[in-house]
């Protein structure tokens, strides 16, 4: 496989015991098995080389997240015992994003995984897949939410943007509210997202079609809210429009926020995309012929995550 894959096992240290939905404790959907399932299937298909991330300066995080927020996550993680878990408080916006002892280290390592991918893109690699966990696109400047702590894609895109224009294509089932906000007033980073109608689905507060950017950034934000139960064909039509937007922008780099929660069997999502379709999605993205950094976001049907990922990578090859 020509695609370089970045992975760190430090993600396993982040494993919250449950999330809370309408007052009821449920098993935590964003499990560490997700990434391990992907690794396992890739290995079974002959993909054996996984690169460890390099360490990057914390300054890369400070340019996207408030320092107090970063310090809070670090201190609170360190203050917990192995079996303790911290639910909503200041900085923690919902019941899906608790802090456990290993959260800071895992989130920090996910950022290193993303930045190592970005660095390889700068070094001339065509496609890199950063197997980030925890995911990032819901993380705001000073708020953790939706299983996200640090915004891996935003930090990587910001890093790349020192070297040319960056387009971010977000194809997770959910709108990437955090990423949108980070670049809302910038014209050198385009954010384009396909996601479930936020009137019906998380994150509710953003992802609407009339959010187009602000001041200098006006015209550099594009949302495609989609109805539930959308199928391959309908999704394709919108994807092609989104890719046209990116083409017009003429970026130097592409960052893909890659979620597999658009899959028909996903327990949280609500689209009807099928297993083999992920190869087509990737082929269309590849047609842009841009240096492309893939950042893993959501996807919760653990059993098929490996196949989804492998199909996607085959389309990108």
Tell me if 140 contacts ligand SP5 by CB under 6 A.
no
Tell me if 96 contacts ligand SP5 by CB under 6 A.
yes
What's the closest the beta carbon of residue 173 comes to ligand SP5, in angstroms? 6
Q: Are the beta carbons of 302 and 292 closer than 8 angstroms?
A: no
Tell me if 266 contacts ligand SP5 by CB under 6 A.
no
Place of tokens 């639910």: 87
Looking at 14, 65, 138, 195, which residue is catalytic?
138
Q: Is the dihedral of CA 247, 248, 253, 256 positive or negative?
A: negative
Select from 28, 147, 220, 253 the one that contacts ligand SP5 (CB under 6 A).
147
Exposure on the CB side of residue 180, measured as CA atoms within 13 A: 27
Tell me if 291 contacts ligand SP5 by CB under 6 A.
no
**Is 29 or 242 the residue whose CB approaches ligand SP5 more closely?**
29
Tell me if 134 contacts Zn ion by CB under 5 A.
no
Q: Are the beta carbons of 191 and 153 closer than 8 angstroms?
A: no
Tell me if 207 contacts ligand SP5 by CB under 6 A.
no
Alpha-carbon span 159 to 252, nearest angstrom:
13
Tell me if 135 contacts ligand SP5 by CB under 6 A.
yes
What's the per-residue H, E or C state across 210-241? CCCCCHHHCCCEEEEEECCCCCHHHHHHHHHH
Taking the CA atoms of residue 149, residue 152, residue 154 and residue 155 in that order, the dihedral angle to the nearest 10 degrees is 100
**Residue 222, contacted partner among ligand SP5, Zn ion, none, CB below 5-8 A by kind:** none
CA distances from 67 to 63, 76, 226, 286 (A): 9, 14, 35, 36
What's the closest the beta carbon of residue 267 comes to ligand SP5, in angstroms? 7
Tell me if 261 contacts ligand SP5 by CB under 6 A.
yes
Residue 163 annotated in active site: no
Hey, which residues between 161 and 180 contact ligand SP5 (CB under 6 A)? Answer: 172, 174
Tell me if 259 contacts ligand SP5 by CB under 6 A.
yes
What's the closest the beta carbon of residue 92 comes to ligand SP5, in angstroms? 14
**Residue 146, contacted partner among Zn ion, ligand SP5, none, CB below 5-8 A by kind:** ligand SP5
Tell me if 14 contacts ligand SP5 by CB under 6 A.
no
The token pair at 281 is 């999605």
Strands 19-21 and 24-26 turn out to be antiparallel
Binding pattern for the stretch 289-308 against Zn ion, x by CB under 5 A and - elsewhere:
---------x----------
Binding pattern for the stretch 233-272 against Zn ion, x by CB under 5 A and - elsewhere:
--------------------------x-x-----------
User: 170: which residues sit within 8 A by CB, 6+ positions away?
Assistant: 137, 153, 176, 179, 191, 192, 193, 194, 195, 256, 257, 259, 297
Tell me if 278 contacts ligand SP5 by CB under 6 A.
no
User: 128: which residues sit within 8 A by CB, 6+ positions away?
Assistant: 3, 4, 5, 6, 117, 118, 120, 121, 292, 293, 294
**Residue 36, contacted partner among ligand SP5, Zn ion, none, CB below 5-8 A by kind:** none
Tell me if 150 contacts Zn ion by CB under 5 A.
no
Q: What is the DSSP letter of 192?
A: E
Alpha-carbon span 195 to 136, nearest angstrom:
15
What residue ranges bind Zn ion (CB under 5 A)?
Answer: 172-174, 259, 261, 298
* Active site residue ranges: 138
């Amino acid at each position: 496989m020509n695609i370089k894959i970045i992975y760190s096992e430090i993600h396993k240290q982040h494993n919250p015991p449950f999330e809370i939905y309408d007052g009821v404790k449920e098993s935590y959907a964003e499990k560490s098995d997700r990434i391990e399932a992907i690794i396992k299937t890739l290995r079974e298909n002959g993909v054996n080389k996984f690169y460890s991330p390099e360490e990057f300066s914390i300054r890369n995080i400070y340019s996207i997240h408030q320092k107090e927020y970063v310090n809070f996550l670090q201190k609170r993680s360190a203050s917990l015992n192995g079996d303790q878990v911290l639910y909503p408080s200041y900085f923690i916006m919902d019941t899906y994003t608790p802090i456990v002892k290993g959260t800071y280290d895992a989130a920090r390592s996910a950022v290193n995984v993303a930045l190592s991918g970005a660095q390889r893109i700068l070094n001339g690699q065509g496609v890199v897949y950063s197997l980030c966990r925890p995911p990032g696109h819901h993380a705001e400047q000073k708020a953790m939410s939706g299983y996200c702590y640090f915004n891996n894609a935003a930090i990587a895109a910001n890093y790349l943007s020192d070297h040319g224009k960056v387009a971010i294509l977000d194809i997770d089932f959910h709108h990437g509210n955090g990423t949108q906000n980070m670049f809302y007033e910038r014209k050198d980073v385009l954010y384009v997202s396909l996601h479930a109608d936020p009137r019906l689905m998380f994150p509710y507060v953003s992802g609407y079609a009339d959010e187009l950017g602000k001041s200098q950034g006006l015209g550099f934000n594009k949302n495609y809210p989609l109805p539930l139960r959308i199928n391959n064909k309908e999704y394709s039509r919108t994807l092609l429009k989104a890719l046209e937007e990116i083409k017009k922008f003429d970026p130097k780099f592409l960052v893909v926020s890659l979620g597999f929660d658009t899959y028909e069997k996903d327990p949280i999502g609500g689209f009807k995309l099928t297993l083999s379709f992920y190869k087509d999605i990737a082929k269309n993205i590849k047609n842009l012929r841009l240096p492309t950094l893939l950042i893993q976001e959501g996807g919760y049907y653990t059993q098929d995550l490996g196949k989804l990922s492998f199909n996607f990578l085959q389309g990108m090859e």
